[in-house]
Amino acid sequence: MSVDANLERSAFLLNANAKNVTDRILGEMVGVIPAGDLFYARSMEDSEAFLRTIVKRGYKEIFTGGGDGTLVTTMNMLQKIMDEEDLAYKPAMGVLKLGTGNAMATALGAGQPLNDVSQVLETENKDYKPMHLVECDDGTLTPFAGMGYDGEILNDYFDLKSNAEGTALDVLTKTAAGYVLAALSRTVPRQFNRQLPNIKVITRDWALQLVEDEYGQVQEIPIAPGAVLYQGPAPVCSVGAIPYYGYGFTMFPFADRKPGFVQLRVSAVPVLELLTNLYPSIWKGSFRHEKLYDWLVKDVEVIAESPLPYQVGGDAWGEKSHLRFKAAAEAWQMVDFSGLAA
């Protein structure tokens, strides 16, 4: 595939199935984005065909219109196309706040979508944030992933949302309240008579354990490759390249601390303590506990004694008992909206 020299333009790829990609939003985007630079994908096949066109034209940036799942799908499809064509060219990525949880959009300072589009088109020299994403063992790149409670809540949420279609709860399940309802009505009650799953986490590269000292300062303790970071019961084991899960929930407060690393968080905190501290301390990332453990890692292996619910980028991916997470070797340039002109 030959790539045209058209590198100063931005492409906008909207997911027709995303929560906030409505007919009104589409109409507003059509009125602002130059003809030929807006792509409206109704299916995975549409997305792949549009991405091949975008790559051939040589756009400098691609902005996704959808949630974190849309971003994960787009970036991995784009990486596959670039690998197939053996292209050195790699467009920067941006995210419009048009999904449900909008974790990456929040991390990049995205705001009102139409305003962001206008600023993108009016700003010549944008700020970019190099980001080493989480690389899963199958090569999938994602802002975050995990196994345990978070994956179980997502499985319960999708089941609740499916069962609520056409009922009075339908609208509620498409908001942050839907996750809370799924957790309180399904996930949490299930934990009280359940033995916590045992996991083993091994670092395959240098890691840094994060420990808060007596003055409240976080210290970094180097750990050599091959060391066991954690072994024991843990209902949550998650890794993130950005601070947030959906809805501004700060799951990984140290994710931005050191370039080339991602944050690993393991929690064995009792479920009642999690519930009583959910807001504001857990939600805002300030919660500390003797059974809450944090590391900065480059490559870790997670082994569970039995399959646990697994999520990638906020989407449920079934159950897994053996996983490998890495900080991607190559950083992807992400458009930082906080640096755009007001």
CATH classification at residue 75: 3.40.50.10330
Residue 155 half-sphere exposure toward CB, CA atoms < 13 A: 17
Q: Which amino acid is it at 310? A: Y
pLDDT above 70 for 3: no
Does 342 map to a domain?
Answer: no
pLDDT given for residue 101 in this prediction: 81
User: Do residues 213 and 314 share a domain?
Assistant: yes
Percent of the chain clearing pLDDT 70 (strictly above): 94
Domain that residue 209 falls in: 141-147+195-327
pTM, rounded to two decimals: 0.89
* Alpha-carbon distances of 52 from 1, 77, 286, rounded to whole Å: 9, 10, 43
Instruction: Transcribe 172-211 into DSSP letters.
Output: GGGSHHHHHHHIIIIIHHHHTTSPPPEEEEEESS-EEEEE
What is the tens place of the pLDDT at every residue in 63-72? 999 999 999 9
Sign of CA dihedral 240, 246, 251, 252: positive
Does 174 map to a domain?
Answer: no
Q: How many domains does the chain have?
A: 2
CATH number at residue 242: 2.60.200.40
Minimum mean pLDDT range among 119-123, 152-156, 235-239, 319-323: 152-156
Minimum mean pLDDT range among 156-170, 241-255, 290-304: 156-170
pLDDT above 60 for 17: yes
pLDDT above 80 for 169: no
Per-residue pLDDT band for 241 (boundaries 50, 70, 90) equals: very high
pLDDT given for residue 4 in this prediction: 58
What is the tens place of the pLDDT at every residue in 84-124? 988 888 999 999 999 888 999 999 999 999 999 999 999 98
- Facing residues of 218 across strands? 212
Per-residue pLDDT band for 341 (boundaries 50, 70, 90) equals: low
Does 270 map to a domain?
Answer: yes
pLDDT above 90 for 160: no
Task: Mark which of 79, 95, 126 sits at the end of a domain.
Answer: 126
User: Do residues 216 and 113 share a domain?
Assistant: no
